[in-house]
Amino acid sequence: MVEQLMRDMFLFLSKNKTLTKLAKRYGLRFGASRFVAGETIDEAVRVIRQLNEKGLAVTVDYLGEFVDNEREANEMARHCLEAIEAISREKLNSQLSLKMTSMGLDISDELVMRNMRRILDAAKERGVFVTIDMEDYSRCQKTLDIFKTLKKEYDNVGTVLQAYLYRTEQDIEDLKPYRPNLRLVKGAYKEPPEVAFPDKKDVDENFKKIIKQHLLNGNYTAVATHDDAIIEYTKQLVKEYNIPNSQFEFQMLYGIRPERQIELAREGYTMRVYVPYGTDWYGYFMRRLAERPANVAFVIKGIIRK
């Protein structure tokens, strides 16, 4: 009960625009640097290189929230292009992740498509794969519609589906003809019971179901989880059905369970770390605290040290 109240509180705070502006002003303090690689691409490159040296792959994300005008959307796209160039120049083992709201999804179809094609053209030229993050339920269908359009034009693009949504099993079937590379996650937004499983055990069962469904469809699957039960389920599943390690990977967030990440890499699995950076880190940070209230302890320690 207390954990659920904390989760709801942090999700509420994640959408506070005033606090977002304050966070931008005062920078990465009070524990956020545990989960965010820095504010600039140069800082992110240093972190990516360190992770690569440990045998870990990466997907890097320039954070952005509440983009509501064309100038900001174009600026966000510029940061993505800068990241792609850095990945190529520094020969990093890294992909790119992005949110389409930061590319102008809520502003106009023309704007978001123009920015996405700019990014995917540059990424294709430099051999960089791009994953379109899934956001809240209200943007799910539009995100998938755009993904389908882009997938017809580009091979280097994937997207994300969330296990807590009732619709996800059907979405996987609808996407099957596109042979998509999908990141499967539990889901981190607060959604009503009309569209999402309210109980964790149901989310976990659906997570297992969609992992199996997508793998048996023969498509590349990124299992994004810190949950050992889901990790072990995936290991047993691929063993039972003789699915090669080249058809799937595990993904975790930067700063969470780093020892486990290295263990999985040493076991021979592709282990990819989601590395966010940028000045607009506040909303992301609040959602991480909502997912794992135990992370609050790290924040308190950070405050005490200041």
pLDDT in tens, 260-289: 999 999 999 999 999 999 987 777 777 776
Helix (H) or strand (E) holding 249: strand 248-253
- Residue 271's pLDDT is what? 98
Return d(Cα 81, Cα 208) in angstroms, integer.
35
- Residue 184's pLDDT is what? 98
Return d(Cα 236, Cα 233) in angstroms, integer.
5
Return d(Cα 75, Cα 280) in angstroms, integer.
13
Residue 116 DSSP one-character state = H
User: What value does the mean pLDDT take over residues 76-89?
Assistant: 98
R_g over Cα of the chain: 18
Given the structure tokens 């909502």, which residue do they identify?
290
- Residue 10's pLDDT is what? 46
101 CB neighbour count, 10 Å cutoff: 22
109 annotated active-site: no
Give the DSSP per-residue string, 119-138. Answer: HHHHHHHHT--EEEE---GG
From the list 7, 106, 183, 287, the catalytic residue is: 183
- Residue 6's pLDDT is what? 45
State the pLDDT confidence band at 67, using cuts at 50, 70 and 90: confident
pLDDT tens-place string over residues 131-153: 999 999 999 999 999 999 999 99
Return d(Cα 195, Cα 297) in angstroms, integer.
32
Cβ contact 290:14 at 8 Å:
yes
38 CB neighbour count, 10 Å cutoff: 19
Q: In 3D, which of 88, 238, 70 has the Cα closest to residue 156?
A: 88
133 annotated active-site: yes
From the list 61, 106, 133, 204, the catalytic residue is: 133
pTM, whole model, 2 decimals? 0.88
- Residue 29's pLDDT is what? 54
The CA–CA distances, whole Å, from 205 to 105, 200, 279 equal 31, 9, 36
Cβ contact 48:94 at 8 Å:
yes
Give the DSSP per-residue string, 159-201. Answer: EEEETTBTTHHHHHHHHGGG---EEEE---S---TTTB--SHH
pLDDT tens-place string over residues 95-111: 999 999 999 999 999 99
- Please give the structure tokens belonging to residue 187: 């889901």
**80-84, 109-113, 208-212, 283-287: least confident range:** 283-287
Average pLDDT in the chain: 88
The DSSP bridge pattern shows strands 248-253 and 271-277 to be parallel
- Residue 280's pLDDT is what? 79
Instruction: Please tell me the number of Cα atoms within 13 Å of 242 on its side-chain side.
Output: 0
pLDDT tens-place string over residues 223-262: 999 999 999 999 999 999 999 999 999 999 998 899 999 9
Q: Which amino acid is at 219?
A: N
Cβ contact 158:183 at 8 Å:
yes
User: Cβ neighbours of residue 218 under 8 Å, at least 6 residues apart?
Assistant: 179, 247
246 CB neighbour count, 10 Å cutoff: 8
Return d(Cα 4, Cα 6) in angstroms, integer.
5
Return d(Cα 171, Cα 141) in angstroms, integer.
9
